[in-house]
Amino acid sequence: MRGTTSRSVPALLVSLSVLIIAALFAVPGTSLAAKSSRKAQPSGEQPACPNRALPPAPVDTSEEPKPGQTRPEPLPQPKEPVGGTR
C-alpha cells in the first residue's frame, strides 16, 4: 500500500501539470501575440458599445399573425381532462 501511494502522488502532479499547460494553450486569446495586440490599442480609441449598460429589448413576433391574417382562435378545452379523472 505504501509503494502505491508514493507512485501515485508524482503521477497525479505530472498529469495535472500537463492538463494545465494544455488548457493554457487551448484557450483562445491567451497567446502572447493576442495579448500584445490588445495592449497596442490606446484605451481612448475603443469603439463604444451601445448595449453595454442594457441589452436591447427582446422582440417576439412568433405569435403575431402576418398582415391580412386573423388571429387564430384559442384551442378548445376538452370537457374531461386528458388521461381521465383522478
SS3 letters for the chain? CHHHHHHHHHHHHHHHHHHHHHHHHHCCCCCHHHHHHHHHCCHHHCCCCCCCCCCCCCCCCCCCCCCCCCCCCCCCCCCCCCCCCC
pLDDT value of residue 59: 83
pLDDT tens track, the chain, 86 positions: 555 666 788 888 888 888 888 887 776 655 555 555 555 545 556 668 877 888 888 887 777 788 898 888 889 988 888 888 77
pLDDT value of residue 44: 58
Does the model's pTM come out above 0.85? no
pLDDT value of residue 42: 53
